Structure 1
Amino acid sequence: MSSPNPAIACRLEAARAVVHDAACLAMSMRPPPGGPAGKQKAAQDWLTETDGAVEAFIAERMKALFPDDGFQGEEGGVARAGQLRWVVDPIDGTSNYARGRSRWCVSLGLLDGDDPIAGVIEAPALGEVYTALRGHGAFLNGKRIQASPVTDPASAMIEMGWSNRVPKPVFMEKIDAIMDLGAMPRSGGSGALALADVACGRLDGYIEIVINLWDVAAALPLLAEAGARVSPFLRTGGLTGPATILAANPHIADALSKAVSIPLE
């Protein structure tokens, strides 16, 4: 294996430190367990004070470290253009975070043009940090990860993300298709962590009909390096707006793709 590009490797290490500090900030602002803290942007679409604070913290730190790099955030949009572009979801799983639950993360991905090349996902309440650099592996807490070896869809665990932007019949059609395969459906409330779960083998697949770049930017290098198969999210509109994603372990990917009518790369 060749040595990583020093400039990109340096950026990944810096991103790990920045995301860790941002995760600590989010933990310090974390609501106690109970009814949701924050406000709704739409039905079941939550926004907390922490989302804005964490995004601003990461934006400021990355600008100071790499002033020529582009930056895009869920809350602030594209703040700077650049060949290298950081894409952040300050709190992925805000509905969980707003209730004091543990399944949420800070997600920061790096794109080179249209190519996702590195990512960091930290879930501080779970004590987990995912990192990936294209061509140099995917890791959970420093240990290399790979997609699940499950070959039988009837033994598979598949998560499907819910969105109020998806008509109920469409959602139920995909859930029915998953269950018709004999797979076990799940829904956990964080797209980035679900994709990371596919990368490390905790899930055999993840589907979301409408999801945004900031939800998946850090996970795409993880999936590629862990050997998962993924739908062409970026080529089907994901760079500029919401699109559909399917990620799966390579052994059940074709069967799942056929069942839910979502093509893979």
Structure 2
Amino acid sequence: MDQDLMAKVAAGKVGGMTDSADLALALRLADQADEIARRYFRAPDLGAQRKRDGSPVTEADREIERVLRASIRAEHPGDAFVGEEFGAQGRSRRRWIIDAIDGTASFIVGDPEWSTLIALEDHGDVRLGMVSAPAIGRRWWAMPGTGAWMRPYPSDPSAHPIRLTLTARGNAKDAAIGIWPPPSRLSATERDAAARLAAGTATVLPVLDWSTAAHATPPPSKPSTGSGTCHGALLVATGKLDAFLLLGAGPWDIAAVIPIVEEAGGIFSDLSGQRRTDTGAALFARPDIHQQLLNMAKSPN
């Protein structure tokens, strides 16, 4: 645990955070997840398996989610919980949304760009988001009205959190956008929307033919690969991309990064323009181009 940071949280001095108790709990949860993940990362046997949807899962994913569920239940027994591995538990206006390891495929092969996603929703509105990426030594967090923050750890415990702030840079046709997953894993409707965005913007990562369902050879890397940010939405929050479209996503893939992007000055919505995490689509973008991209993604019919 970063005692210096925790002391600032307790005093309400980190990034203007006012609800220090929830932030402090989220930090403890992130520390627990980091400790478990480090034990498994690059170990010879991760117990990796394929789930029904074809995505990978390891013993680390399961253990992290079990431990975080137990910690939340111990401190807030009335709070609800939903995680990627074990589903939903409880009904409450407060709901924790957890992805134990976002980027399990990277985790399995020993690549460092994976993270734990932690979010707290209140009355359906995400009020806290945290992303912890111990293998690259980064942690991001935000709560509404208090800014989005990144802190390197633990290599430099004296480092102060850095506030993330976006600036307007022009028209959507000049934008750089990341899209994930690749076309072969998208439905025809999703592929059409991705193809329209790819055709209408200047730069698209990964560089693919988004109009076809054919498998790319070699398999493409995520837009965030090599960026030190782990999640495509963080590329937007940190100014490395102008927009990011995530398709076929669950709430656990989206919720934690919503406050971070929004507090940095960006906008989040699904492709209908609604601020929802349950439709499978998430568009994160600079505020000056978000609506342009939504219009671009719409079917001409």
Q: TM-score, normalised by structure 1?
A: 0.84
Tell me the residue number matched to 2:143: 133
Alpha-carbon separation, structure 1, partners of 2:272 and 2:100:
21
Tell me the residue number matched to 1:254: 291
SS in 2 for 1:126: coil
**RMSD between superposed Cα atoms in Å:** 3.0
* C-alpha spacing 1:135/1:72, structure 2 compared with 1 (3 Å): same
Alpha-carbon separation, structure 2, partners of 1:189 and 1:48:
23
Does the CA contact (< 8 Å) of 1:70 and 1:85 recur in 2?
yes
Deviation of 1:43 after TM superposition, in Å, equals 6.3
Alpha-carbon separation, structure 1, partners of 2:78 and 2:95:
9
Matched, 1:147 2:166: yes
SS in 2 for 1:201: coil
Unpaired runs of at least 5, structure 2:
1-15, 152-160, 207-220
Larger radius of gyration: 2
The one of 236, 243, 265 aligned to 2:280 = 243
Deviation of 1:168 after TM superposition, in Å, equals 5.5
Deviation of 1:248 after TM superposition, in Å, equals 0.5
Does the CA contact (< 8 Å) of 1:147 and 1:204 recur in 2?
no
Tell me the residue number matched to 1:45: 55
Does the CA contact (< 8 Å) of 1:237 and 1:243 recur in 2?
no
Tell me the residue number matched to 1:203: 241
Unpaired runs of at least 5, structure 1:
none
Tell me the residue number matched to 2:34: 23
* Structure with larger RCO (C-alpha < 8 A, sep 6+): 1
Query: What is the aligned-residue identity percentage?
Result: 25
Tell me the residue number matched to 1:174: 194
Alpha-carbon separation, structure 2, partners of 1:102 and 1:83:
35
- Judging by fraction of residues, say which structure has more strand: 1
Alpha-carbon separation, structure 2, partners of 1:204 and 1:189:
12
1:121 is matched by which residue type in structure 2?
V
The 5 Å alignment of 1:148-163 reads 148-153=167-172, 155-162=174-181
SS in 2 for 1:101: coil
Deviation of 1:225 after TM superposition, in Å, equals 0.8
Does the CA contact (< 8 Å) of 1:148 and 1:204 recur in 2?
no
SS in 1 for 2:244: strand
Alpha-carbon separation, structure 1, partners of 2:298 and 2:99:
28
Q: TM-score, normalised by structure 2?
A: 0.75
Alpha-carbon separation, structure 1, partners of 2:293 and 2:230:
20
Deviation of 1:151 after TM superposition, in Å, equals 1.8
Per-residue deviation, residues 179-202 of structure 1 (Å, max 9, x unmatched): 442123235277971112211212
The one of 21, 39, 46 aligned to 1:10 = 21
Alpha-carbon separation, structure 2, partners of 1:245 and 1:261:
14
The one of 57, 60, 70 aligned to 1:60 = 70
